[in-house]
Amino acid sequence: MLTLALMLIAAEPLARPMTVEVRQDPINDAIRASAILRDDGNRLDVTCETIGNEPRISFHSRLWLGRGHFLSGRRRITYRFDREAPRRSWWDIEDRRATLTNDVRVNNFIQGLYTAERLVIRGRDVENRPFNAIFRVTDARPAIERALAACGRHSDGTD
């Protein structure tokens, strides 16, 4: 009995599925939809809006992120899906949030989420120390497609 209890304690908790939040602006009826993945105090959002903005990826860290370049506010962040090769991209940094906005990079990131079971994001904190945020991903496609559809977009990035 004790062995079983220890095994249950040591077992990794199940990954939480992505949730979808859809909000409508009461003044202009614009829709903002997000597919949200939470894990270990960190959050990853795939967000779109019906007015003016392309989909974007936002990583909300439980740690303060190191400042981006003093002119652009951008900093390179490395991420990796499962056992694929790591990728580095320029993300906009503000406090505890990093945002990826380039259409091609966002679409590639979304395609990676569709099939991934694990996502690791490596950033640097405000004291320039590296840290890893690990997300366990389960069945992300339905949530992302629901969020994009609420904004009138398709999963391939088209309107």
Task: Quickly state the pLDDT bin for 91 (edges 50, 70, 90).
Answer: very high
- For the cut 70, the answer to whether the pLDDT of residue 45 exceeds it is yes
Tell me what pLDDT residue 116 has: 95
What is the rounded CA–CA span in Å between residue 138 and residue 123? 23
Tell me what pLDDT residue 82 has: 96
In this predicted model, what pLDDT tens digit does every residue of 11-38 receive, in sequence order?
A: 556 667 899 999 999 999 899 999 999 9
Helix-helix angle 140-150:103-115, to 10 degrees:
140
Tell me what pLDDT residue 120 has: 97
Tell me what pLDDT residue 70 has: 67
Tell me what pLDDT residue 27 has: 93
Domains of the chain and CATH, by start: 2-150 (2.60.40)
In this predicted model, what pLDDT tens digit does every residue of 56-72 receive, in sequence order?
A: 999 999 999 887 776 67
Task: Quickly state the pLDDT bin for 5 (edges 50, 70, 90).
Answer: low
Q: Is the pTM of this model over 0.75?
A: yes
| Total residue length of the chain | 159
Tell me what pLDDT residue 67 has: 78
In this predicted model, what pLDDT tens digit does every residue of 113-154 receive, in sequence order?
A: 999 999 999 999 989 899 999 999 998 999 999 999 998 876
Task: Tell me the mean pLDDT in the region 82-97.
Answer: 93
Q: State the SS3 of 44-94.
A: EEEEEECCCCCCEEEEECCCCECCCCCCCCEEEEEEEECCCCCEEEEEEEE
- For the cut 70, the answer to whether the pLDDT of residue 155 exceeds it is no
What is the rounded CA–CA span in Å between residue 65 and residue 141? 28
What is the rounded CA–CA span in Å between residue 3 and residue 52? 57
